[in-house]
């Protein structure tokens, strides 16, 4: 079942990549975000896609047969199914350990972030409608605006960004789009799908392109809110938004 999900999910990812290459400038970026979410669901939930017929059916059939032939144990020989199972579990465990360490280090790096002053907090909330549940912090240990937390969201602004007096309205609007769309939760789901299918390079491509497309989709949404006339201002901030640490 896992291999069937990975193969059919990989085919879906290839189709999305082809569509993205042909229509990235024609379709709204949120369309691609939705497609990546469907691909992740295919990798995580065992359901059938309409791929049993058409040109992709032979690919799925032959790939599954090849995997079965490799994993089928012969008399007196090692049970390769058990070996593959152990390798798969070990791969997931190693990846969870690596990403767990990265998450811990990132949390420690941002642990010293301080809430902005009351006056500045009021000014920033006047620029963009930010609910009280979302706290605004500032840190000198990050060079890009960040949204952290999946339950209680925090916006962390770089100290340099405030010092440069860049118009923070677009930065805050961008981060609020992330929060309203629960992008941190979606990123975690994408990472989970990639870790489960760590042996499939297409799963990692899905994860990387999803991360890129949600940034583009947020930029697109901010432009819809403030109008095309603000496009030049948005372009000045693209380097800040698209380079994540």
pLDDT one-digit tens code per residue, 20-69: 999 998 999 999 999 999 999 999 987 655 545 454 555 555 555 555 55
Is residue 191 a contact partner of residue 4, using CB atoms and an 8 Å limit? no
- DSSP-derived 3-state class of residue 155: strand
Per-residue pLDDT reduced to its tens digit, 52-62:
545 455 555 55
Q: What whole-number distance in Å separates Cα of residue 161 and Cα of residue 126?
A: 18
Q: At what angle do helices 201-226 and 2-23 cross, to 10 degrees?
A: 40
Q: What is the pLDDT of residue 50?
A: 54
Q: How far does CA 88 lie from the centroid of its chain? A: 22
* Mean local confidence (pLDDT), 2-31: 92
* Mean local confidence (pLDDT), 94-115: 91
Q: What whole-number distance in Å separates Cα of residue 133 and Cα of residue 119?
A: 17
* Mean local confidence (pLDDT), 150-168: 75
User: Could you tell me the pTM of the whole model?
Assistant: 0.79
CA distances from 213 to 15, 69, 175, 206 (A): 16, 38, 15, 10
């Amino acid at each position: 079942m896992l291999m069937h999900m990975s193969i059919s999910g990989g085919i879906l990812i290839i189709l999305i990549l082809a569509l993205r290459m042909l229509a990235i400038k024609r379709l709204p970026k949120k369309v691609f975000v939705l497609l990546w979410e469907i691909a992740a669901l295919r990798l995580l939930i065992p359901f059938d896609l309409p791929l049993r017929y058409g040109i992709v059916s032979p690919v799925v059939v032959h790939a599954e047969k090849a995997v079965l032939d490799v994993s089928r144990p012969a008399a007196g020989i090692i049970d390769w199914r058990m070996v593959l199972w152990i390798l798969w579990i070990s791969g997931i465990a190693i990846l969870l350990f690596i990403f767990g360490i990265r998450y811990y280090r990132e949390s420690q790096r941002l642990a010293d972030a301080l809430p902005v002053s009351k006056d500045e907090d009021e000014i920033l909330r006047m620029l963009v409608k930010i609910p009280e549940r979302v706290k605004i912090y500032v840190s000198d240990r990050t060079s890009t605006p960040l949204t952290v937390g999946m339950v209680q969201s925090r916006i962390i602004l770089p100290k340099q960004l405030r010092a440069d007096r860049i118009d923070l309205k677009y930065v805050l609007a961008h981060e609020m789009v992330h929060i309203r769309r629960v992008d941190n939760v979606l990123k975690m789901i994408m990472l989970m799908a990639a870790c489960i299918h760590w042996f499939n390079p297409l799963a990692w491509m899905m994860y990387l392109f999803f991360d890129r497309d949600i940034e583009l989709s947020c930029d697109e949404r901010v432009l819809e809110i403030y109008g095309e006339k603000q496009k030049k201002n948005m372009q000045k901030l693209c380097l800040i938004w698209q380079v994540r640490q």
